[in-house]
A and B are shown apart, each in its own frame.
Chain A
Amino acid sequence: MVLQFADGRPFALGACPYWDQLSPDPAETPRIVVAIWIGDSQTQAVVDTGGVYLVCDPEIPDLLDLDSSVRLGVATLVIRGHRYVGDLHKLTITLPAEEGESLELEVTAFVPSLDPGQEWRFPSFLGLQGCLEFVRFAIDPGANVFYFGRL
């Protein structure tokens, strides 16, 4: 058991290390970058409590076989001031624990479809609505540990 309430009930069941930067640039704004499994492959995503859905890199479908039967087009998201159109998918992801229990979630994912000439310079994001909204989580910025558990 990783974290507990005062009465002994579990707060979080899993813990994993997180990156606090996306790039080696020491001037970069700190992030919470965690590893996630999407299907059978692992990738990284930034925790974004102001965002919605799991926002995937637009090239992710080139790597992973996303089930088109659970795809809904078309949604619009504004990401860091840029407007993106894309599809919504239902995906199963896993938050892998280094200590304790890993957590498998079914979430809504947004996969942008880039227009010709449109660029993607962002990581993937774990948003709140549609993704982390029912996950209990906490961070220890002293040890770069991301704690998580089910409600």
Chain B
Amino acid sequence: MIHFPQREDIRLLSPAIATEPSETSVLPQALDVTQDRGDGMAALQIAAETGDEMAFLQAAGEIDWSHRPAADFARAVRLALAAGAHLLARNLADQGHRLHPHHEELAKMARILAPPRVVRANLPPDPSVRANLEWMRAHAAEYRGRWVALKAGVLLTSAPTARELKDQLSSTDGLFLTRVI
């Protein structure tokens, strides 16, 4: 038996939770499952608002996505990302893009959420890795909390923020840049 939050539960949502990221502009002030159009989208919205990934997956699994409009897919992907259902977001973006190949937002979603891929595998080795590692091992304690720029194991500069670090460098190309934790 799937449990979705009831009306009373939703009204208890704090303002901070009820104004979360991507759906902020389209969410009603108080969500109500009785306002569901019967298409399951309200259940997705509620699960996303409550951050309940399992409820989100269950609700999405009860929807027949084979004939859904592009807008529903795009909204479901946004909600899935807000709910933390990242694999489902990828699958919905992919399915939506295949069903609606000319929908720009779905195309973008499918592209960004697509599985990673190897672009090239025959690149030459990089000897700078160990030199930078050795510098970090020897000197990290002296620069805790700061950003550092190294080149082949040699410190070029450091700064409290990344922006200030960049301002001190003519170029960041080829440099090792990190915040020292």
Contacts and interface: CB of A to CB of B under 8 A. Distances in A.
Interface of B is mostly: mixed
Interface size bucket, B side? 35 or more
B118 A105 contact: yes
Contacts, number: 177
Interface size bucket, A side? 35 or more
Interface in B61-80: 78
A106 B116 contact: yes
A91 B30 CA distance: 38
B119 A105 contact: yes
Interface in A6-55: 13-14, 16-19, 22-24, 35, 37, 40-44, 52-53
Given A63-B177, A90-B114, A134-B116, 4 more contacts: A19-B136, A41-B175, A62-B161, A97-B123
16 contacts: A13-B121, A17-B133, A19-B136, A70-B112, A72-B113, A75-B21, A85-B21, A96-B128, A99-B125, A104-B121, A107-B116, A108-B112, A108-B114, A130-B115, A131-B116, A134-B116
Interface of B: 20-22, 51, 78, 81-84, 86-87, 90, 108-109, 111-130, 132-133, 136-137, 140-141, 144, 147, 161-163, 165-166, 172-179, 181
